[in-house]
Amino acid sequence: MTNEFINFEKLSRTRWQELHQATTPPLTEKELDNIKSLNDKINIQDVIDVYLPLISLIQIYKHHQENLAFSKGIFLQKNAGKRPFIIGVSGSVAVGKSTTSRLLQLLLARTYPNSRVELVTTDGFLYPNDSLISRNILDKKGFPESYNMELLIGFLDAMKSGADASIPVYSHEIYDIVPDEKQTLLSPDFLIVEGINVFQNPQNERLYMTDYFDFSIYIDANSKHIENWYLERFQALLSLAKKDKTNYYHRFTEWPFEEALAFSQNIWKTVNLVNLEKYIEPTRNRAELILHKSKDHKIDEIYLKK
């Protein structure tokens, strides 16, 4: 165990799985296929071994959050208003955050059938490309300075207060914020916030996004493995964009394949790897739980904060 994980309890996948009485997963293989990202490898066994114990743990935290809110209300002599249980999910580009977040959303909705479970990605809080270009930071997209953190913190604050909110929508197809489109959230019971920057807040060192989370997860893997997954995903995106001229990735389908691949390798090394090593990975010890993936995408180790 490295010093970074000194405040964590390390559990093997087998040990983690033993913490939960195996039950029939509340989703089908087809439903799982529908929510997993392009090149992610996850099956029903992974749901049983890893995600059902995780849902049990979240239930414990949720119960604790409700008790604490109730006790605080008594102490302050005021009625504790309804507020969502907020879960942050972080990790590198291409590590599988989206699959984990969508799976959590589905499992929580099945576990709490009368609850509203919403999912937002922090991509929606990126500045639009025009704004990034005018600031000369388009090549820094995904870096801390490319996010409107004030808007993001304001959104989390509204959610924590039990208010409704509308937020911008990002599209990977056009590689930009979608003009005139909003995602509206009506006081959810659970809110999952997914993004590479969810443990960061560089613009105001006194306030971290993690202050708003009731539970948080970091998805970890060796950067060489993540690079391979990134390149696999890039190739999958190319094949999807081949016949769609409106797709951002279509332009690369007109390049020689080796040239397109070299371009994506360069983007990984100069942008995504730098961002991972400088800004994303250093925040992982702010998570409550770290899910570590091996070369084949399988979660092999779990670190739970002591």
pLDDT at position 3 over 80: no
Domain chopping of the chain, boundaries: 3-126+188-305
Greatest CA separation found in the chain? 68
Enumerate the known binding-site residues for ATP.
Answer: 91-98
Of all residues in the chain, the percent with pLDDT exceeding 70 is 97
Question: Residue 191's pLDDT is what?
Answer: 98
CATH homologous superfamily of domain 3-126+188-305? P-loop containing nucleotide triphosphate hydrolases (3.40.50.300)
Residues paired with residue 64 on neighbouring β-strands, in sequence order: none
Q: What is the pLDDT of residues 31-57, one digit of tens each?
A: 999 998 877 889 999 999 999 999 999
Enumerate the known binding-site residues.
Answer: 91-98
Reading across the β-sheet that carries 289-293, which strands appear in turn? Answer: 8-12, 299-305, 289-293, 215-221, 85-91, 190-194, 117-121
Q: What is the pLDDT of residues 77-136, one digit of tens each?
A: 988 778 899 999 999 999 999 999 999 999 999 999 999 999 999 999 999 999 999 999
Task: Count Cα atoms within 13 angstroms, Cβ side, for 13.
Answer: 15
pLDDT at position 146 over 50: yes
Least Cα distance to 27 among 39, 53, 45 occurs for: 45
Output the six-digit token pair for 158: 């509204």
Q: What is the dihedral of CA 75, 79, 81, 86, to 10 degrees?
A: 20
Q: What is the pLDDT of residues 201-234, one digit of tens each?
A: 655 556 678 889 999 999 999 999 999 999 999 9
Q: What is the pTM of this model?
A: 0.94
Q: 24 falls in which pLDDT band (50, 70, 90)?
A: confident
Q: What is the pLDDT of residues 176-190, one digit of tens each?
A: 999 999 999 998 999
pLDDT at position 1 over 50: no
